[in-house]
């Protein structure tokens, strides 16, 4: 497929098939005396239909375990991942199921819903910006496979905490990669071989390298390298390198896209963004409590005694916005040098939502600070 060429338009076939299979499965169970209420089945079909419609307002936290797998299957169909890999859909389904099951449900944030959330966001981003038509099928497949497995076996803690414990992941880590990301990448490679029968290859290496890019310690290195390569790409031929998963530029774009999906929860509607915030800080504070109990000093964001979630959220959103601003700048540059089909404006809704949510969190932070100041004045006047 040539760059900019229309690929086969996503349609509702996969979603319809899912719903038909669910109805057939339910009917069979009922005839066997195992019938159950039909409401959960209808919800599963609805979740799959919702996933089939590009939306930045998706709420993965509301899905059941069955619904999560249906959504991932629908997303994979939209990107034609199985076709790109030339693997049976059943193998891809098994890979996705393994990835979900390897996300500990006890993790408030790094659990199965996080996988669905970032993949739904990424597929929406690709479709809204036209990247789904510009990127090669192999590129889309690498991004999807990496996104599904980027946090498998997550401990719900930071790399720094794992290092302090002398965790097994630290001993097994590849050079220059955080222990959590190194472990997840190695598990992803094993699952690709086991479920999709993909041996050691450039594609598998690209999946691992993309997962490595989610290591926060490497963030600045990646964005600086991407900025340099983007500014040097002055022709359509130079831009072409970004659309190959095997090139250095393509690897940077894969890492930046997965990074964008990984931190996309504040781009959701405010109520959903706040719900994700609650999950994040449950994990942060649980780690901070463990550090305190061991006599250590927690990361300021992990210290429930002093951290202000609304205030911290504003700073995080500003950091997230810089990633999406860079992506939009890249898309604008690509269109200027002649890449057809791209829509940089597809990121406008994301950037606007970030501004709206930042303003809301800033207002909440100001109110909390004012209330705190008022309480201190009252304590002074009361002689306490």
pLDDT at position 375 is 66
For residue 369, pLDDT beyond 50: yes
Nearest to 217 by CA among 267, 278, 162: 162
Tell whether the torsion through CA atoms of 277, 282, 286 and 289 is positive or negative. positive
pLDDT at position 356 is 98
For residue 56, pLDDT beyond 60: yes
User: How is the chain split into domains, by residue range?
Assistant: 52-364
| Residue 150 marked in a binding site | yes
For residue 52, pLDDT beyond 60: no
Model pLDDT for residues 147-160, shown as the tens digit of each residue: 999 999 999 999 99
pTM of the predicted structure, to 2 decimals: 0.86
* Selected catalytic residue, list 11, 70, 110, 197: 110
| Residue 114 marked in a binding site | yes
Task: With H, G, I as helix, E, B as strand and everything else as coil, classify residue 199.
Answer: coil
> Mind spelling out the 3-state secondary structure of 313-360?
HHHHHHHHHHHHHHHHHHHHHHHHCCCCCCCHHHHHHHHHHHHHHHHH
For residue 44, pLDDT beyond 80: no
pLDDT at position 19 is 41
Distance CA 21, CA 275 (A): 32
110 is catalytic: yes
| Average pLDDT of the residues in 53-65 | 91
Model pLDDT for residues 215-254, shown as the tens digit of each residue: 999 999 999 999 999 999 999 999 999 999 999 999 999 9
Q: What is the CATH number of domain 52-364?
A: 1.10.1300.10
Nearest to 186 by CA among 155, 162, 153: 153
- Residues with Cβ within 8 Å of 177's Cβ and at least 6 positions away in sequence, in order, are 185, 212, 215, 218
Cβ distance 151 to 110 under 8 Å? Answer: yes
Residue 264 is given by DSSP the state: -
| Average pLDDT of the residues in 350-374 | 92
| Residue 175 marked in a binding site | no
Alpha-helix residue ranges (DSSP H) falling in the chain: 13-31, 39-52, 65-79, 81-85, 89-101, 112-129, 131-134, 137-149, 159-165, 168-172, 179-196, 202-212, 219-232, 236-240, 248-262, 270-293, 309-336, 348-382
Model pLDDT for residues 278-305, shown as the tens digit of each residue: 999 999 999 999 999 999 999 999 999 9
| Per-chain mean pLDDT for the chain | 88
pLDDT at position 21 is 36
Nearest to 180 by CA among 165, 196, 198, 199: 165
């Amino acid at each position: 497929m040539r760059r900019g060429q229309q690929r086969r338009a996503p349609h509702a076939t996969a979603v319809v098939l899912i719903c038909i299979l669910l109805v057939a499965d339910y009917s069979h169970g009922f005839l066997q005396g195992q019938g159950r209420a039909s409401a959960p089945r209808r919800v599963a079909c609805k979740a799959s239909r919702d996933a089939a419609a590009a939306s930045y307002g998706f709420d993965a936290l509301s899905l059941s375990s069955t619904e999560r797998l249906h959504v991932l299957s629908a997303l994979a169909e939209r990107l034609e991942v199985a076709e790109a890999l030339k693997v049976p859909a059943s193998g891809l389904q098994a890979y996705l199921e393994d990835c979900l099951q390897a996300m500990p449900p006890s993790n408030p944030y790094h659990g199965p819903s996080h996988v669905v959330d970032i993949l739904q966001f990424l597929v929406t981003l690709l479709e809204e910006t036209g990247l789904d038509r510009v990127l090669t099928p192999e590129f889309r497949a690498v991004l999807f496979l990496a996104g599904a497995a980027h946090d498998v076996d997550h401990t719900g803690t930071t790399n720094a905490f794992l290092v302090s414990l002398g965790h097994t992941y630290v001993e097994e880590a590849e050079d220059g990669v955080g222990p959590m990301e190194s472990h997840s990448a190695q598990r992803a490679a094993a699952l690709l071989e086991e479920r999709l029968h993909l041996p050691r290859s450039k594609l598998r290496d690209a999946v691992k390298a993309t997962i490595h890019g989610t290591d926060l310690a490497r963030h600045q290195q990646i964005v600086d390298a991407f900025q340099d390569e983007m500014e040097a790409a002055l022709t359509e031929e130079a831009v072409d390198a970004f659309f190959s998963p095997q090139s250095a530029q393509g690897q940077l774009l894969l890492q930046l896209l997965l990074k964008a999906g990984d931190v996309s929860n504040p781009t959701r509607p405010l109520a959903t963004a706040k719900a994700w915030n609650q999950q994040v800080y449950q994990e942060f504070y649980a780690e901070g409590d463990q550090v305190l109990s061991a006599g250590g000093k927690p990361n300021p964001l992990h210290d429930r005694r002093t951290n202000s979630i609304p205030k911290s959220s504003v700073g995080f959103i500003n950091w997230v916005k810089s990633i999406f601003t860079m992506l939009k700048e890249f898309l604008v540059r690509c269109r200027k040098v002649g890449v057809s089909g791209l829509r940089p404006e597809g990121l406008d809704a994301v950037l606007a939502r970030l501004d709206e949510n930042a303003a809301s969190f800033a207002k909440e932070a100001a109110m909390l600070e004012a209330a705190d100041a008022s309480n201190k004045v009252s304590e002074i006047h009361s002689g306490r």
